[in-house]
Every structure is written in structure tokens, then in C-alpha cells.
Structure 1
Amino acid sequence: MNAWRETDLFTPEEQLLLEMTEEITLIHQKGLTEETFQKVKQLFNEKQIAEVIMAIITINAWNRIGISTHLELLK
């Protein structure tokens, strides 16, 4: 389990976005669940949801590029 679930450092909105990120990142398991999506729709408008999804996808893409190409961080 991820540490963000075990702390009270995040607001409910932030926790929901982290849950959404986890579900989208682990799309091979079940993807973004209907339950999570409905919660997101209660707090964010369609434009905001689209922006968050695109940010998640972009971060995941860059992570995969970095891992696939054995990208080393600049020191």
C-alpha cells in the first residue's frame, strides 16, 4: 500500500487525485474505477478532470521513456 493512504498530510481532494493517479497508472489491474470517477466528478469539472488525466498520462509516459532508455539523471 502506498504511504499517501497512511498519512493525514493530504486534503481529501489531494487524496482523491492520488487515488485517481494510482488507478490510471495501474490500468492493467482495473483502471479508473467508476466509484473513483464519480467521486472526482463531484469535486472537479470536466475541464479539470481532463487536465488531471492528461497530466497523469504525461508523467507516466515520461517515466516509461526514462526507464526504457535507461535515462540517467544529471548529477
Structure 2
Amino acid sequence: MACFTDSGHLSESAKKLLQSIEKDFLSAQEISQKTGLPLFKIRSSLRELEDMELVIKEDNRYKMASKALEYLH
């Protein structure tokens, strides 16, 4: 799942993922359950978003980084 469109905006699924972890640290499994997106897509997206410093990872749990807010609006 590509997190960004060709025009450089967040994909709808990436927005959904980030919004699910805006306030709480969640595991990939919890994010999948909360968003309804397949776990393999969540894991792939989390790696991409982490590389771009848009998510924070602690003990295999993820939370949206403040930097991601600029992409959500």
C-alpha cells in the first residue's frame, strides 16, 4: 500500500492509519482491527511512515508523530 499518491498527498488508507494512532500507541494488530485494513498492508505502511518519521515506534507499538499533522490537512 503506497502511502502517498502521485501528487504527493497521503493516500486515504494512510490517512485512516495515521488517524487511528493519533492519540494512542497501538500495535499493528490493533491498528488493523481499528481501521479494517489487512495486517500485511498495515505493516508495510508503518515501515514506510516510520522511514519518513511520520510515526513513532516504541516496543512494537505505534503513534502518529506531530510531523504527520501537516499531511492530514
Fold match by TM threshold 0.5: no
TM-score by length of 2: 0.36
Which is richer in helix? 1
TM-score with structure 1 length normalisation? 0.36
Of structures 1 and 2, the larger Rg is shown by 1
Between 1 and 2, higher relative CO (CA 8 Å, sep ≥ 6) is seen in 2
